[in-house]
Structure 1
């Protein structure tokens, strides 16, 4: 008989299909487990699957008295209370690097769309202004990629793939990370120094208390009026209010965002700005990425139920 696994976060059924072929899934649909299942149903569950960004405090873990493993579908695990999990001897796993290529692709796409004003150009054609030869200040020539200084904040799996892609565009690449990496790019000793040097700041750092709102008004000011910020990490890394103010005042030139302080992101001052390109947290949403993440989830669950250490533990 297959082991029972609680699906804590809300996932499309198609993403759980492969996992459901091996395990008996109880889908909470993103709601507290005790609202969807009885205490008897939850009593024997030893593992759960969650989205890394979904808040998962200790009180939720306590609803499953035999819980021994939390498996994050994806790279992130910032929503999981790791201290609470450790206190309850619950192992936490994730899918490191599984979506790195796809996220790096969307980061570069956002960079090009923002710096070359792709949405403005699209509107110029669709609205008939091009055909009417209507002049527009938004149509003035923009700086290209050769020689552009691109700073990557965070040089993990995703950061390295972003840097490699950007370098192929003949741009200069620098980075700041918690430690130097064995990569062929210039290292900067602080985020402040990196922001002062670059004209595009790529945010690829893991979310946490130490990175909360670390990209603030001061960092944005250091980027300068020709600077752009691209965020494919977590919305918490940027002070979103400061970002809106910087965009409205033209302290920076523009932004490309796949993540937000609150998701899903409702229309507001940020979405009204013409110098921003927005996508709905879709960086890792490719067929290859989902296959890779499912492989990691299956490997973690299989190892756990076999009494082995998780295949991809959070360290």
Structure 2
């Protein structure tokens, strides 16, 4: 690999596979290892031209102010609410993410979480492990995927991958998003309207102020007592107190969650609920997919400095990949 004469600030710990490439390609400075992060930024700030970011530290205006020669922020993950992309775009700073390479893995997780939640498979496993099967059968599950209507909130790359898989289960599909995509699935222009017309919601909504706690008491009431809520998007989109009450009171039947509002902290009240299936944000969590995401992070940086083009710029970035 050719060494690129660029100072890179790595603000979140990366997989070894990724960090090794960054070390070879750039002068990589690991902020997360610094005994005094502010001192490192003060010392290196003017020389930093690139940032490799993850979800554990925000790239906000305060940090950008301290990096006056910053050209690009390459973010690990399809979601990039940890980066103030709007402010970056206004400053002419490129922001990239890692779409597509994780869509199938996350879609697989969403379908698996839906099946586990609807059919109570984790609860049935615990029943067996507790030795209860020797004296009784596990109760018939009150819910099924047969003849059910699935609503997908956020029909982007991941949402479409979920829809493709869901079709093979015979589920009818509707969706909510910013606009009607004029496709075969039924479109609803509000979450409440979607909830009123489906049995299961799978949320793929991104984080941010526009989606903060949009899943509230009204939406759960609309979903109804036979409804199932699945979230593999962002935890910030859910009013967790309202969800807990909905699960406790039978406002909805069940929930399957891979994301939470204050990760890695999950409310005790949520963990105590027997009708909630909870995962520790493992949607894209395979070695294969995380390596592919990391490779795209590296390739975005490399392509920018070698060819002047990012591979996957986000919408707020003043640059087209075409």
Normalising to structure 1: TM-score of the pair?
Answer: 0.92
Q: What 5-or-longer segments of structure 1 have no aligned partner? A: none
Q: CA deviation at 1:271?
A: 1.0
Unaligned runs of 5+ in 2: 316-322
Q: CA deviation at 1:37?
A: 1.9
Would you say the 8 A contact 1:52–1:75 is kept in 2? no
- Name the stretch that deviates more: 120-129 or 302-311: 302-311
Partner of 1:103: 106
Matched with 1:263 is 263
Root mean square deviation of aligned Cα: 2.1
Match of 1:58 in 2: 61
Q: Which residue of 1 aligns with 2:236?
A: 236
Q: Deviations over 1:120-173 (max 9, x none)?
A: 10111111111112x77xx23333223111100111000001111111111111
- Match in the other structure for 2:94: 91
CA distance in 2, matches of 1:141, 1:118: 9
Question: How far 1:4 moved relative to its partner?
Answer: 2.5
Change (3 A) 1:23 1:157: same
- The residue number in structure 1 matching 2:308 is 308
> For the Cα contact (< 8 Å) 2:150–2:202, is it kept in 1?
yes
The residue aligned with 1:71 is 74
SS at match of 2:25: coil
Per-residue CA shift, 1:231-284, capped at 9, x if unaligned?
Answer: 000001111111111111111111111110001124511111111111111101
2:281 aligned residue: 281
Moved over 6 A (4+): 30-33
Aligned-partner Cα distance in 2 for 1:196–1:31:
51
Counterpart position of 2:52: 49
Change (3 A) 1:44 1:35: same
CA distance in 2, matches of 1:32, 1:65: 23
Q: Deviation string for 1:47-101 (max 9, x for gaps)? A: 0011257422111122222211111111111111123313432111111222111
Q: Distance in 1 between matches of 2:186 and 2:33?
A: 43
Aligned residue for 1:220, secondary structure, equals: helix
Corresponding residue for residue 121 of structure 1: 124
Deviation at 1:200, TM superposition (A): 0.7
Residue 112 (structure 1) shift: 0.6
CA contact (8 A) 2:15 2:294 kept: no
Q: Is 2:17–2:291's contact at 8 Å kept on the other side of the alignment? A: no
Matched, 1:221 2:221: yes
- Is the CA contact 1:176–1:187 (under 8 Å) kept in the aligned structure 2? yes
Aligned-residue offset at 1:182:
4.9
For the 8 Å contact 1:69–1:92, the answer to whether it is kept is yes
Distance 2:85 2:41 in 1: 26
Contact 1:74 1:293 survives alignment (8 Å): yes
Partner of 2:211: 211
- 1:131 is matched with 134
- Corresponding pairs, count: 312
CA distance in 1, matches of 2:14, 2:271: 26
**Distance change in 2, residues 1:55/1:31 (3 Å):** farther
Aligned to 2:320: none
Residue 103 of structure 1, CA deviation: 0.7
- Tell me, yes or no, if the aligned pair for 2:150 and 2:174 is still in contact at 8 Å: yes
Shift of 1:218: 0.4
* CA–CA separation in structure 1 for the residues paired with 2:44 and 2:20: 21
SS at match of 2:79: coil
More displaced 10-residue stretch of structure 1: 210-219 or 139-148: 139-148
Q: How far apart, CA to CA, are the structure 2 residues paired with 1:32 and 1:175?
A: 47
